[in-house]
A and B are shown apart, each in its own frame.
Chain A
């Protein structure tokens, strides 16, 4: 099993550009989520999904969109990148709900100039 995979590993965007961060898991987990990690701020929940076709907002959803068309994939879209979105982004999955053990991907380091 590959677990949770994320692409790309690194990305540099200019302000106003859009992009999609990819996330996939092969553990047949129902719950998937996106977090951002900033120095001194811990991990903050952006969006989450409890199953295919169902998504909901987390703590810091503004500027991001998600969709969950399959159990395996949960892409995160930045609509119009801003310097405040410079961060490390982690995708995670868990067997059922968000309070079970989270399996994290390796992260995407995004810089917006």
Chain B
């Protein structure tokens, strides 16, 4: 069973600060997705990355896929209270199914 490790497990920062969360595996991903989940709801896709070294920017979010396709990072600039939630990475290890990480629970303090 492939494992995805996410760090940190919990993160609490002040509004306006920057943050980075990480997703790591010992195996190579075919592709990697990042989801955000708010309390009482299902996860919602933020972005998919498929190419090693790929960087995607979505407004204040920057997603990076490692060159070796074993790791990824999610950077948020100038965090806002609306960014609060559980951030989940999900990797496809070539079997056309997603393996989810354990998540980073992010709290932005106004």
Residues in chain A within 8 A of chain B (CB atoms) = 4, 35, 40-45, 48, 58-59, 90, 92, 97-99, 101-102, 104-107
Question: How far does the Cβ of B47 sit from chain A's closest Cβ, in whole Å?
Answer: 10
Contact B102 A98 (CB under 8 A): no
- The B contact surface, by secondary structure, is loop
Contact A42 B88 (CB under 8 A): yes
Question: How far does the Cβ of B29 sit from chain A's closest Cβ, in whole Å?
Answer: 10
Q: Which residues of A contact B96 (CB under 8 A)?
A: 97-99
Q: Which residues of B contact A43 (CB under 8 A)?
A: 43, 88, 90, 100
**Cβ of B109 under 8 Å from chain A:** no
Of the four ranges (under 10, 10 to 19, 20 to 34, 35 or more), the interface on chain B belongs to: 20 to 34
Residues in chain B within 8 A of chain A (CB atoms) = 1, 4, 9, 30-31, 33, 35, 40-45, 48, 88, 90, 92, 96-98, 100-103
Q: Which 7 A-B pairs have the closest CB atoms?
A: A104-B42, A99-B92, A43-B100, A98-B97, A97-B96, A42-B102, A42-B100
13 extra A-B contacts, CB within 8 A, seeds A42-B4, A45-B97, A45-B98:
A4-B42, A41-B102, A42-B100, A44-B100, A58-B97, A90-B42, A98-B96, A102-B33, A102-B43, A104-B41, A104-B42, A105-B42, A107-B42
Contact B42 A99 (CB under 8 A): no
Q: Which residues of A contact B41 (CB under 8 A)?
A: 104, 106-107
CA distance A31 to B43 in the complex (A): 17
Q: Which residues of B contact A102 (CB under 8 A)?
A: 33, 35, 43, 45, 90, 98
Other-chain contact of B40, A40, A101, A107 (Cβ < 8 Å): A107
